[in-house]
Each structure stands twice: as structure tokens, then as C-alpha cells.
A and B are shown apart, each in its own frame.
Chain A
Amino acid sequence: MRGIRKVMAALLGTALLTGGAAFAAEPIRIGAIFSVTGPAAFLGEPERNTARMLEEEINRQGGLLGRKIELVVYDDESDPTKAVIAVDRLLKKDKVSAIIGPSTTGSTMAIAPKAEEAKVPLVSCAAAIDIVSPVRKFVFKTPQSDVLAVRQIYRHAKKAGIRKMAILTASDAFGAAGRKELKELAGKFDMMIVADEVFGPKDTDMNAQLAKIKGTPAQAIVCWGTNPGPAVVARNRTQLGIAMPLYMSHGVASNKFIELAGKENAEGILLPAGRLIVDEQVAAKHPQKKLLAKYAGDYEKRFKAPVSSFGGYAYDALSLLAHAIKAGKSAEPAAVRDALEKTRGFWATTGEFTFTPADHNGLTEEAFVMVRITKGGWEMLK
């Protein structure tokens, strides 16, 4: 008994000494739901790591409004049902001020009504435009929407004189969303879709689809999916000797893709990507330059793993919330939401966020740059 008391006293003492009066108040609780395990773990793991890292950094710098922040993280195991259970706990038991995540569109769509009903702001790290269109009062998201990526690709292709396009999309949620946007926007950019092929996300051979495309008058191919499918497409394409340009989505913007496809097969592939992947080539005076270098440096040092744009989505979600709490001088959920919606010109890793009542994604095409894979690395195009 005495031992315990001694320990308590010691702990209290240290807390008072280190924290001082500033941390005497209750911490601000922020919930987080990420797919740390399961098939979407390649998204959730860097997101969880990043959020934890940023939490420590904010607390080291004195927290927000003189209070510490406390991140409550749950793993939805890439399963929307588990995300719903997690959001219930965050809202009812943990009483959080706001929530970041989940990692996937499916999980976000499953919990969005709950956040809406509880009137707690949710800043999702998932891609699909459906999350913020139509606008829900309390739901925001940080990743660039597919539609912005499609615009970048079509704009680049149009400039290169391409009019006839073949599309090759994965038959999962990400690929289906890309396929929809690719078809819808084709007319606006005078593109004619001459081949519309699909591949299973687990497929290991895309020769049949590519051979079919080879037989059409297509001048370029757009492939939409996440690893490993597009890597197989890149390999099969060189095997079949298809020379027309190959565009990919931002879903493959990581070094893992080059490794899987093989340097020689990835050569020349074009894709829209966030600036994080080419942070060293971003102009020194660009508003994102310092931020990107700092995040990439800190992450790589701490986790001994290359930084990915997915972690950046979580970085942005938490910094946007921190910014909103500071700007609105309150950690009350409703006040955080109002301050969040008033965010203007906030530079983060993904781009410049300007939220309005009609736009809860807040990014423009500016958030993407076109990159080309050259000699196993990423080259930013002007």
C-alpha cells in the first residue's frame, strides 16, 4: 500500500514538474480509426504511425489551448463493421471532440451517418468523392478526389495529342470509382474511349486485356488500381511490346510499385501524384517545400520506412483539426466543425485546403503534379 502511494506521489510530482500548470486541464480527446491490419493495412499502418508522431509533436510544443491532446486509436481491421463498433466507442465512451480516419471509403461511408447524428466532426483519410458529395455537415476528407486525378491525366494526354484512350480498371471500389470518372469526363477533354477493360484486384495475368487493347486504335492506356494489379499490367505491357503511353492513378504512387513492376517495366509510366513523393524536386519557394521535407525526414528517421502519401492524409487530417481547434478557441465538437469549415488556404502535405460549406474536400487540381517514372525514380513534370 505504502509502495503504491509512493509511486503515485512520485508520478504526481513528475507530472507537475514537467507539465506545469499548462497541462492541468483535461486533455483534448481526438478519436482515430485506421485499418492497421487487414488488406488495407498498407494505408492504415503509415496513417496510425503518422498520427501518433504528430500527437507527440503537438504535445511537445505545449498542446492546444493549453491542453494536451490525447489520440484514441482503434483498428478497424479493414472491415466497415468493426469501424462502426469503433465509432460507437469513440462517441459514447471516449467522448472525443473529433475523429480522423477511417482509411477506406467503405468504412467511412459506414460511419459517416453516426458522426453526423452525434454532431462530431469526422475528417476522413479515404479517397472517394462520394464521402463529401453530397456535402454532409460534419464530414470532411483530406485525400485528393479521383476526379482531380482524372482531369490531370486527360489534360496531359490532350496536350500530347492523344484522342483515343483505352481504360483498364480494377474491379474493386477504387477502380470502379476511377472508371466512372474516366468515362464521365472523357467528353469534356475530347477523349474517345475505344476500349474499356477490367481486371480482378487479385488477378495475376493481364495479357488478355492488354492484347485486346493492342488490337484497338487506342493511342494511350489509363490503368486504375492499387498494388499489385497495376504492377502486373506494367510487366505484361513490356512483354507484349506495347509502346503507347501508359497512365496510372495516384493509387500506385509509392516506391513499392516500381519494385514490383521492375525498373525497366515501370520506365516512362505517367501518373498524377501528391508532391510528397517528389519532395526534393519541389521548388524551394513552394509553400509545401518545408513541410514535406520535415514530414518525410521525421517519418523515415522514426519508423525506418519510406514515407507514403497515405500517411500524409492522416498528417493533414490531424493538423487541420489542430488548426481548427486553435482558430475556433474551443474543443467543443460543434465549434471545431465551424472553425474547420472556415479554414482558408491551409497548406498541408496533400495540398492547399480551403473548405467552404459547399466543399468539404477543399483541394484543387493544384494538389496533384504529373510525374514520370524514370530510371526507377520519380521525375516531376513541369
Chain B
Amino acid sequence: MPFSSLLQFFVSGVTVGATYGLTALGFTMIYNTTGIINFAQGEFVMLGGMLAVFSMTWGGLPLPAAVPLAVLLVTAIGVAVDRLTIRPMRGRPPVTLVIVTIGISILLRGGAMLVFGKDTHSLPPFSEGAAIPIAGASLLPQTLWVVGITIAVVAAMKMFFDRTITGKAMLACACDRRAASLMGINVDVMVTLSFAFSALVGALGGVILAPITLTAYDVGVLLGIKGFAACILGGLGNPFGAVAGGLIIGVLESMGAGILSSGYKDAIAFVILLALLFLRPSGLFGKASADRV
């Protein structure tokens, strides 16, 4: 296997993996403040891409306006999901809430199918230009956007959690909601905020990937599953682990498809995930604690 091929597998793995990572990040944020897994996370990613496409085709907006608009709209949908479905169910067991999120994902997917139709759509790349050759492999300019935006999101989150009161308040909710609430932190606001953030990063993942991989009303399902796998791999509840988990799954998938057989592409990631769960049930970067899982 020539080095240039391996490099190529790595580059495409990182590109797709970054989206898995951003999806996983969304899972983590909501898990940390509410203790539930939001199965509509993949739909946030889908909506990001689809709304950007349709702001352009129906709204006639240029790309630089359509992308932020799509991300804002999805963030608003995230807030609405929390206000309309999660908050009224407060205090119910996590399983009930998880089932509610599955319902939301079916609703969002069906709604997108009715409004946008069943066709696949493409979004133009953020910047023009041909592929950049690197040591025999080639890199799309859009890949640089994907990697750049992912790094920026992770850095911004680190700043947010380390430096701001709100960020610290959210971490406090993650540690112990009851104690946080007794200390005067408004847990409801923190939960809404976590939904807004997770929708935001999900939508970002959707818009940066749409120019490379195309988008349709049903792409959220697979992205949701891969994102969830990334989340578990990195250690549930650990934001940086989530992104790292996404990148690892993306690269393994791509390498597996290239070196072994492309027929097993989806299976490879899950086999590795299963093996890891047997050996390190708390994930690669998770702390081994019983109440986490």
C-alpha cells in the first residue's frame, strides 16, 4: 500500500470524522446537563445542511448568509425542542425522556421530508479552488474549512467552560444538579442552553459537510449513530473525548475501507467500538466511574 494512498485515507477519514465529532459533542452537552441521550442529534446535523441549501434555493440568499441563518434556525429549533418537549417532562425517568427524543427525531425527519422533499441536495463549497495536492494525496479546500471550524468550536468550548461563569455553572449542573440548584444556579436555563449549544454544533457539522458529501432528509440517522458511537468511544460526557472519538472512528472507517474491504466500511467502526467497550467500558478518555454508565 503506497504512502500516498494511506495519506488519502487519513485525510478523508479526518474530514468525515470531524462531523462525527461535532455530532458527538452535541450528545455530550445535553448528556452533561440532563443525563439523557438526545437521539434527535443527527436530525440537527441534517437540518443544518438542508436549511442552508433551501435558504439558497428558496430564499435566494448567498452562501455566506445562508450558512449562519441555517445554524441560527437550527439553534432556535433546539431551544424549542427543550421548551416544548423536555421541560414539561421534567422529573420523569431518563428512559421516558430518551423515548421523547426518539419521537422528536422521527418528527423532524418526517417534517423535513414533507417540506424539502425526498431528493438529495448539494451545497456549494465555502471557497472556490481545485484540490490541493499533498505528497500524492489530495485535499479539498472544504476539508480545511471542516478541520478549521471543528478546531475553533472545540477551542471556543474550552474557553467557555474554563473562563465563563455560565460555563462553570453548566459544569456544575453536570456534576450535581441538585447541589447546583441549591447554589442558586438556574438549572432550567442551563438545560435550555445546552440544547441550544448542541443544536448549534450539530448544525455546524451539517453545513460544513454538505458541500463534500451531499445531504438529504434522512442523512441524520447514520450520522446520529456514528456520532453516538464516537461519544461512547471518547467516554460519555467528555467533550474533548467526543471529538477525538469522532476523528478516530472516521479515520478507522476510511482506513478499513481502503486497506481491508470497502464492503465492511460501516462494520469496521462498530467492531472496534465493541472491542473497546469490552476492554475499557468507560471509553478511551472517560474516568472509570460507576455512575457514568
Specify whether A and B are partners.
yes
Q: Interface of A with B (CB < 8 Å)?
A: 39, 41-42, 171, 197-200, 202-205, 207-209, 211-212, 214-215, 227-228, 231-232, 235, 238-241, 256, 259-260, 262
In the complex, the chain B residue whose C-beta lies closest to that of A206 is: B262
Given known contacts A200-B265, A208-B257, A260-B214, what 13 new A-B pairs fall within 8 Å (CB)?
A: A41-B118, A197-B262, A203-B265, A207-B12, A208-B12, A208-B255, A209-B262, A215-B2, A228-B120, A239-B131, A239-B138, A260-B120, A262-B122
Q: Does B194 contact A (CB under 8 A)?
A: no
Considering only residues 1-42 of chain B, those with a C-beta below 8 Å from chain A are 1-2, 4-5, 8-9, 11-12, 15-16
Least Cβ–Cβ distance between A178 and chain B, in angstroms: 15
The interface residues of chain A lying within 8 Å CB-to-CB of B118 are 39, 41-42
Q: Does B212 contact A (CB under 8 A)?
A: yes
In the complex, the chain A residue whose C-beta lies closest to that of B221 is: A202
Considering only residues 199-253 of chain B, those with a C-beta below 8 Å from chain A are 209, 212-214, 216, 219, 222
Q: Does B127 contact A (CB under 8 A)?
A: no
Tell me whether B263 and A171 are in contact (CB under 8 A).
Answer: yes
The interface residues of chain A lying within 8 Å CB-to-CB of B184 are none
Of B5, B265, B266, the residue contacting A214 (CB under 8 A) is B5
Q: Which 7 A-B pairs have the closest CB atoms?
A: A204-B213, A207-B12, A208-B258, A208-B257, A228-B120, A211-B8, A198-B263
**Secondary structure call for the B interface:** helix
How far is it, in angstroms, between the C-alpha of A227 and the C-alpha of B213 when the chains are bound? 12
Q: Interface of B with A (CB < 8 Å)?
A: 1-2, 4-5, 8-9, 11-12, 15-16, 118-122, 131, 133, 137-138, 140, 209, 212-214, 216, 219, 222, 254-255, 257-258, 261-263, 265-266
The interface residues of chain B lying within 8 Å CB-to-CB of A239 are 131, 138, 140
How far is it, in angstroms, between the C-alpha of A208 and the C-alpha of B262 when the chains are bound? 8
Number of A-B contacts (CB under 8 A): 86
Tell me whether A205 and B15 are in contact (CB under 8 A).
Answer: yes
Tell me whether B133 and A241 are in contact (CB under 8 A).
Answer: yes
Least Cβ–Cβ distance between B88 and chain A, in angstroms: 32
Tell me whether B213 and A232 are in contact (CB under 8 A).
Answer: yes
Least Cβ–Cβ distance between A201 and chain B, in angstroms: 11
Of A42, A228, A240, the residue contacting B214 (CB under 8 A) is A228
How far is it, in angstroms, between the C-alpha of A197 and the C-alpha of B1 when the chains are bound? 16
Least Cβ–Cβ distance between A132 and chain B, in angstroms: 29
The interface residues of chain A lying within 8 Å CB-to-CB of B16 are 204-205
How far is it, in angstroms, between the C-alpha of A203 and the C-alpha of B267 when the chains are bound? 13
The interface residues of chain B lying within 8 Å CB-to-CB of A200 are 265-266
The interface residues of chain A lying within 8 Å CB-to-CB of B266 are 200
Tell me whether A207 and B254 are in contact (CB under 8 A).
Answer: yes
Q: Given contacts A42-B118, A207-B254, A211-B8, is CB(A198)–CB(B212) below 8 Å?
A: no
In the complex, the chain A residue whose C-beta lies closest to that of B139 is: A239
The interface residues of chain B lying within 8 Å CB-to-CB of A228 are 120, 214, 216
Tell me whether B262 and A198 are in contact (CB under 8 A).
Answer: yes
The interface residues of chain B lying within 8 Å CB-to-CB of A256 are 119-120
The interface residues of chain B lying within 8 Å CB-to-CB of A241 are 131, 133, 138
Least Cβ–Cβ distance between A253 and chain B, in angstroms: 16
The interface residues of chain A lying within 8 Å CB-to-CB of B120 are 227-228, 231, 256, 260
The interface residues of chain B lying within 8 Å CB-to-CB of A203 are 265
Interface centre among A198, A203, A205, A232, by most chain B C-beta atoms within 10 angstroms, is A205
How far is it, in angstroms, between the C-alpha of A215 and the C-alpha of B15 when the chains are bound? 22
Tell me whether A211 and B9 are in contact (CB under 8 A).
Answer: yes
In the complex, the chain A residue whose C-beta lies closest to that of B142 is: A239
Tell me whether A205 and B261 are in contact (CB under 8 A).
Answer: no
Q: List 20 A-B contacts (CB under 8 A).
A: A171-B263, A198-B262, A198-B263, A199-B262, A202-B219, A205-B12, A205-B15, A207-B8, A207-B11, A207-B12, A208-B9, A208-B12, A208-B255, A212-B258, A215-B1, A228-B216, A235-B212, A239-B131, A240-B138, A259-B122
The interface residues of chain A lying within 8 Å CB-to-CB of B9 are 207-208, 211
How far is it, in angstroms, between the C-alpha of A381 and the C-alpha of B118 when the chains are bound? 32
Tell me whether B122 and A260 are in contact (CB under 8 A).
Answer: yes
Tell me whether B138 and A209 are in contact (CB under 8 A).
Answer: no
Q: Given contacts A41-B118, A204-B16, A209-B258, is CB(A240)–CB(B263) below 8 Å?
A: no
